[in-house]
Chains A and B, each alone.
Chain A
Amino acid sequence: MPATPVLSVTDFYKSYEGNPAVCGISFDVLPGQIVGVIGPNGAGKTTTMRALSAIIPFTSGQLTVAGFDVATAPVEVKRRLAFVPDDPTPFSNLTVEDHLAFTAAAYQVADADRKAHEVLQQFSLQHKRKTPAKELSRGMRQKLALSCAWLYDPAAILLDEPLTGLDPLGIRTLKQSLIQRASEGAGVLISSHLLAMVEDVCSHILMLNEGQQKFFGTVERLRSEFAESRPDCSLEQIFFAATSGAVAEPAAVV
């Protein structure tokens, strides 16, 4: 019996004041899968993630998270989902510790004390516990957002450009932690322009271009579909092939 998708998107459309941003995309993310969303700027990656998180209204389609319909049960969806935006803006007056306390209260986390201690340790934020968010650097804000997301063990994880601002140790921690969460049954959707990271971590790829779905499937299938003649080519070359129509030569190192 096939597993129930953690994230399911069917024929999703979204337009802003008449201008289409996403046109009829469909995909499923099963428990344990890590799906990389790639595409040029304005492809509709962030819009798709925001709609899945029940943050923005959408034009048409059906979106579900852990079996709950985004349109009809947004609160249940949010309870089971973590969305970390590309530039998190934590509440500037709250400290790191306050954010965790707030998240624990909002998501009704049991055993918040222990989990908070764990995530603070995991993302090396212990020494910043009493620091107000407005004094945190870009990378620290990112770590804080991730810590808050990890606190309530979400079934679905949506990360928009998660590596921006993170230090090498933070990047490694995040990658390991994502793989671990997926192995524990979470469904993960990562949008990123860092194709090497996508190649490293993701089991599946969703490729978008100008709001259209260009591809959805495993990395191997992507390779066979777009680079039949060049089985050794990188994801970067495939990306250019899919978005501009030709497999690009690797960039020369000067």
Chain B
Amino acid sequence: MRNAICVLLHAQLKARLRYLRSAFSTRRRILLSALIILLSIVWTGQTVTSVLLRDAYPVDDFRRCVGLGLFAWTLWHILRVAWKRPESPVEWSPAERDLIVAAPFSAAQLLAYRFTVILTATLPKALLTILVLWPDLSWSSPVGLILALVGLELFRMLTDAGSCCLSRRGYLVFRAAVVGGIILLVAACWPAADPLTGVMPAPGVEPITATRTASEVTDAILARPLASAMVAPFFWCADVVAGHESPTWLVLKATGMLSMLAAFVWGIAWLEKIAHRVLLRRERLLQGTQRCDIEQQAESLSGVRPLPRIPVGGPLAWRQWGRAMQYVGSLLISMAIPALLLSPVLFTVRDPVLAFGIVFGGALFYSFVLLPEALKFDFRLDMDHLMQLKMLPMSAARVVVGQLTVPVLLACVFQFCVLIGTAVFRGIEPSILMIALCYCLPLNVLFVALDNLVFLLYPHRPTQEGFEAFLRTILKFTGKTLLITLSLATLLIWAPLAAMLARQLAVSTGIVFVWGTIAGIMLLATAAVLNVVAAFSRFDVSLHAA
């Protein structure tokens, strides 16, 4: 039986390599593959050079970063489970469920398989981290990093299994405890991190910006007893990664980490057994209620509720909206995090208009580069449904409008909230705010249309992982960086032209510049949407989606 698991893992590795080979040698992808390989070599070379040539961080700073990073990651796993409980204690892909879980393996063997998969996935991550942190590492660091990363993965499994063991009431108590704990932690640490103390200029000096360093803020927070107690175990791991102790202590601490991993493994196995019992009991309890529901549904004589009347591809927009609302938690996180990351600007930059400008630029940059990845409620999540979309009795243009509406609207909501919040907080003139808001819609149409265009020209599954997905990401982000550079260069050329034009028309340069830019963006957005329409019309489902 154990042999079968080894055969499977070996076959999976071979299959991945075979897939990679075929993906690169496809005729229509060969040019792109060559470009991607070239870019990866250039980027990797650049990264390696910049890593090897840089100075090492001070050991204390490095240790603090590692410790807090591990703490943040652990906290994220707790928050994730508190927000959404997994359906089963151990996560299985559909293929694994059909082939491995269905096979005659014992629970211990299945867990062993899962641990092997985790270890094989963690090793490359650890190697990459070692490469990036090379100048800061000591002899104990590789061991520390591998143990820490495996530990995080095992902790994730532990929280998943643990949450499945809880009853509905127990889970609600756990959720309340997590929320309460976070509020308590923030309340305890806030005075030390009060950002307003950072904007006080030195006596007699009036700088535009005034900040405290991150180290100063972190030190002040960690000086609080509650915070230092919470992060202590993580700094234990950080000591091994940073090589911050004598060799004997490092060996002892590494052994401690290893013991912790063993405890995690034992804990997962134990919790998994309990979780199965709990899930079985829950199923039996649900059976009665579900039977009643089914009977009620069958007896119900009503037909279907009509959809809200939305013009142009309305049913599609309605469907995408429903899908987006299923991921409302992830959506809020993907919008709250950048908003939080932009918030220090409000406290540190003294000039309100400059602060508003930085927030505006930051929000647009995020909306172009990263936000579209979180707002895939368009063609990109519909790889398996492209045939149905093509079957609909609507023109390609209507389908495209219906498909793109929701991500555009969501991006606008994010930007409007950030910009209006900033304007209110820093007392920005309404006219400046209005101009900024006018940019949002055409820019979001352009951003979303570009991502969809690339998808329809080079379709792929959003859940796809592995080397090919990694290289595709490199290509996409390189392309986006080039586009940003090109846009900035265009603005630099457009600025003096706008001034000249304004002189000739005897109007303000600002008006010509702003409305000229908005008109240009609208033109580009229209062209991008038309290209999406053409790409969707030409899309051959027999070649791609079958």
Contact = CB atoms under 8 A, between A and B. Distances in A.
Contacts of B391: 53-55, 78, 83
Nearest to A54: B390
Contacts of B302: 113, 117
Contacts of B543: 16-17
A107 B394 CA distance: 9
Given A93-B322, A94-B319, A55 B387 contact: yes
Nearest to A80: B393
A56 interface: yes
A57 interface: yes
Using C-beta atoms within 8 Å of the partner chain, give the interface range for chain A.
Answer: 35 or more
Interface in B186-213: none
Contacts of A94: 319, 322
B303 A105 contact: no
A127 to B, nearest CB: 4
- Find the residue from B293, B304, B392 having the highest chain A CB count within 10 A: B304
Nearest to A148: B388
A78 B300 CA distance: 32
Contacts of B538: 57
A174 to B, nearest CB: 19
Contacts of B318: 102, 105
Contacts of B323: 91, 93
Given A102-B318, A106-B315, A112 B303 contact: yes
A128 B297 contact: yes
Interface string B291-333: 0011101101111111100000011001100110010000000
Contact of A116 (B303, B314, B395, B541): B303
A55 B541 contact: yes
Given A112-B304, A113-B304, A130 B297 contact: yes
Contact of A101 (B300, B307, B388, B390): B307
Contacts of B307: 101-102, 104-105
A104 B393 contact: no
Interface string A155-188: 0000000000000000000000000000000000
A127 B303 CA distance: 13
Closest 5 A/B residue pairs (Cβ): A113-B303, A79-B393, A78-B393, A116-B303, A127-B298
Interface of A: 16-17, 46-47, 50, 53-57, 75-76, 78-79, 83, 85, 89-91, 93-94, 97-98, 100-102, 104-107, 112-117, 126-130
Interface of B: 293-295, 297-298, 300-307, 314-315, 318-319, 322-323, 326, 384-385, 387-388, 390-395, 538, 540-543
9 contacts: A56-B540, A89-B388, A93-B326, A101-B306, A102-B318, A102-B319, A112-B306, A113-B303, A130-B293
